[in-house]
Structure 1
Amino acid sequence: MEPFVQLNHCHGLRFHTNSSLPSSLLVKHHLATLTLVTLIKIIPTVIILQKWILVLSLFCLFFFFIFKGYFFKTSPVYLVDFSCFKPPNFCRVPFSAFLEHASMIESFDSESVAFMSKILTSSGQSEETYLPPALHDIPPKTNQNESIKEVQMVLFPIVEDLLSKTRVSPGDIDILIVNCSGFCPSPSLSSIIINKYSMRDDIKSYNLSGMGCSAGAISVDLAHTILKIHKNAYALVLSTEVLSTGWYSGNERAKLLLNCLFRMGSAAILLTNKNEAKNSSKYKLFCTVRTQRAFENNAYYSAFREEDSNGKLGVTLKRDLLQVAGEALKPNITVLGSKTLPLLEKLRHGISIIGKRYIDKSRETYVPNFKTVIQHFCLPTSGRPVIKEIAKGLKLGDREVEAALMTLHRFGNQSSSSLWYELAYLEAKERVKKGDKVWQLGMGSGPKCNSLVWECLRPIIGESEKGPWADSVHRYPIMAVDVVRYLN
């Protein structure tokens, strides 16, 4: 007889078995039967629980996507204000004075002086640019002490001006970033600033060197990243180039270019993520994009600091610099376009790429129209050929490149701080309106390409009476004659 299970309400579970079977086998058989019965009873409960778990999971996902912006949203970064250094008139260097001094320096031969004369007259800069006092001496002073004096001359006034007009004290600064490509003393430039203004002992300080003309934009991007971590903080960014250490005293033409093009300049920028700063700040950081091409040897050596055959240090600018700049720009604007451009422009660009690849390889790729979303452009002031090449690639008109060309004309190439003189020019002309977007494009050695897009938060008025353009903005824009490429 097969064993069976009987449920008894009074005495619980009873087993009726054939007594001839071994007792251990009977127990195992009864337990298996009991387990099967139990499983059959709980299956509906499990199914119901699975349905509720699925519903609960879907609800959690829905809740996450709806409210993730609230829980994971980072505080906006605001540009409270900025200041640009206006060099004193005794630092002005007209072409005639520059060439006269160059001819009196024994390290330059007559061919080098003639070459620098050609560069100056075709550079797009005026007779009103500036060099530090150390480079007015014959021969120029390029020692450590003179470089420290130049740092104090170009950085201290703008820090004091910025803190004064924003009513922020040195003790309020939580983050300090200083960038200078060619001069890296010890203690660092950031330590010099901290010491001068007795800043807090817990300030987060950073010193960037060797990053070229794009370092100003890189510094802002770094500040943006740090402000994601440190809430309710102020970040002070200082951007400059010390020229006394970058002077080249040899006769290689590719290294003489920087003597003619680089001029004095510095900028101080105050950033914050404080919520209350929205009403008083000038701009909000809309987006940043950083790209580089140092992995390619041709690009890496396009602007390279090295010694010449006589052991004299200088920066070599290669003939293919414009091509390298274009290649560095492409991936940057591709990423920037994906973040800023309207859908229609993205579709046009994407369709043109597909058509070029699969239909007609000779057809031109559609260049997105950034003017549909960006009203003002601050381009690298590396020289008129570079400005013209970038404008051609982005299909920008005279109005869009005006700030870059006029800054180059008035102040020369001020390396990493040039972008802020361009923005100061746009403000002095009262062109930046509430809601407008401004694109600052920095390109430097490496090569690196860095974009900052700002959204104007309030009307910008009254800037024509102060800042670096106060005594000259009424004369601009001016019509400058076109020039040949001076690398020929």
Structure 2
Amino acid sequence: MSKILNSSGQGPETYLPPPLHYIPPKPAHYDAIEEAKMVIFPMMEDLLLKSNLSSLDIDILIVNCSGLCPSPSLTSLVVNKFKLRPNVKSFNISGMGCSASMIALGLAHNLLLVHQESNAVVLSTEILTTGWYSGNERPKLVINCLFRMGGAAILLSNRKLARKKSKYQVIWTSRAQQAINDWAYKSAFREEDSNGLTGVTLNKDILEAASDMIRAQLIALGSFMLPTWEKLKFVTSIAKKKYWKKSAEIYVPNFKTIIQHFCLPVSGKPVIREIGKGLRLGDRETEAALATLHRFGNQSSSSLLYELAYIEAKERVKKGDRVWMLGMGSGPKCTSIVLECIKPIIGESKKGPWAGSIYKYPALAFNS
């Protein structure tokens, strides 16, 4: 675990929930619920305050958390605390891993296509207390090292006045999954070890599965947004590899011609570097992911929103810019969303999660 932590790219300011401060840790269901309240309630309050909304204005509520699926659900916890309307449409997403926030945003987007004049709130988090593995099998110890506390609240709306207040509009969503293949299905698997202790096993097949899913996302994104000449180069390279020269490399289109900002999976420093290399991205494009990993750790699905907040805090997002958010999770599955900025974003460096620390980056992230 020490070796993993030392090479993970995480800094000293990441957060673990109180039960995991003990040696040995003392995880319990009650503590997991308290952790959920500690994370979800403040971010919901902050969202309502910033958006100047009442809890009665919420028509759709989606909560995603992979490791904790209590009864009553986390959505019921929120409805009870904030006294949402009895007819609020609530959805609880579990077991979707680090891609869950993008899945939840895609679900909210689709629901808003059906339900007019509605507000949808997505609460994205990961509860760590009950996910701690206390055994000694090495493939299961990785999870203990990578994940940290965090959460994000997102408001989506199709109400007439929403466009004047909104930062972005959703212009594209896509999903891919590999659960049809047994080897991929078993690449990240929650199970008991030989002593009956539960943990998540990660094996090397997960990298191959991730590569296949990212390739599928690239094809989908490229067919939707790339200019014709880039599409032709890509298709030609695939045909060449398949029919003429097996060793030929598939051409990777220059996605920077259509995407200005990238939010990548925060699965560890080597993984971020490898994804960036595969997409032909430079230090500037991978900076948000590395900085988020260093400052906050891997917060599962909400990490992508911390990356977006980082780019905003650096005041790099201009009107008309596009942001590609790429989430990968257990299953395995991969989900993409492209946002387009619809108004100038300024003044974010003094508020949000990066207030007080944005000036330290990217130096700390690159030196870690």
Kindly state the Cα deviation for residue 391 of structure 1 after the two structures are TM-superposed: 1.1
Matched, 1:443 2:328: yes
Q: Once structures 1 and 2 are overlaid, which stretch shifts more, 304-313 or 338-347?
A: 338-347
* Structure 1 segment 327-406 matched on structure 2, within 5 A: 327-406=212-291
Matched, 1:428 2:308: no
Q: Once structures 1 and 2 are overlaid, which stretch shifts more, 318-327 or 365-374?
A: 318-327
2:184 to 299, 319, 335: 299
Residue deviations 1:371-417 (CA, integer Å, cap 9, x gap) = 01000000000111221221121111111100001100111100010
Matched, 1:198 2:83: yes
**1:210 partner amino acid:** G
**2:260 partner amino acid:** Q
Separation in 1, partners of 2:320, 2:258: 11
Q: Once structures 1 and 2 are overlaid, which stretch shifts more, 410-419 or 322-331?
A: 322-331
Kindly state the Cα deviation for residue 471 of structure 1 after the two structures are TM-superposed: 1.2
Matched, 1:273 2:128: no
The structure having more radius of gyration, on CA atoms, is 1
2:9 to 94, 109, 124: 124
TM-score by length of 1: 0.74
Separation in 2, partners of 1:255, 1:335: 33
Aligned to 1:284: 169
Residue deviations 1:100-143 (CA, integer Å, cap 9, x gap) = xxxxxxxxxxxxxxxx1111111000111110111112332211
TM-score by length of 2: 0.98
* Structure 1 segment 1-40 matched on structure 2, within 5 A: none
> Could you say if the C-alpha distance between residues 206 and 457 of structure 1 is closer, same or farther in structure 2, counting changes exceeding 3 Å?
same
2:99 to 200, 208, 214: 214
Aligned to 1:188: 73
Kindly state the Cα deviation for residue 419 of structure 1 after the two structures are TM-superposed: 0.3
Task: List gaps (5 residues or longer) in structure 1.
Answer: 1-115, 484-488
Secondary structure in 1 matching 2:245: coil
Separation in 1, partners of 2:328, 2:140: 19
Identity percentage of aligned residues: 64
> Could you say if the C-alpha distance between residues 274 and 307 of structure 1 is closer, same or farther in structure 2, counting changes exceeding 3 Å?
same
1:243 to 104, 128, 139: 128
Secondary structure in 2 matching 1:279: helix
Q: Once structures 1 and 2 are overlaid, which stretch shifts more, 473-482 or 137-146?
A: 473-482
Separation in 1, partners of 2:365, 2:335: 28
Length, aligned pairs only: 368
Matched, 1:149 2:25: no
Q: Give the conservation status (yes or no) of the 8 Å contact 2:294–2:364.
A: no
Aligned to 1:324: 209
Separation in 1, partners of 2:366, 2:165: 41
Aligned to 1:7: none
Kindly state the Cα deviation for residue 179 of structure 1 after the two structures are TM-superposed: 0.4
Q: Give the conservation status (yes or no) of the 8 Å contact 2:291–2:365.
A: no
Kindly state the Cα deviation for residue 331 of structure 1 after the two structures are TM-superposed: 1.1
1:459 to 334, 344, 348: 344
Residue deviations 1:179-199 (CA, integer Å, cap 9, x gap) = 000100000000000000100
* Structure 1 segment 144-183 matched on structure 2, within 5 A: 144-183=29-68
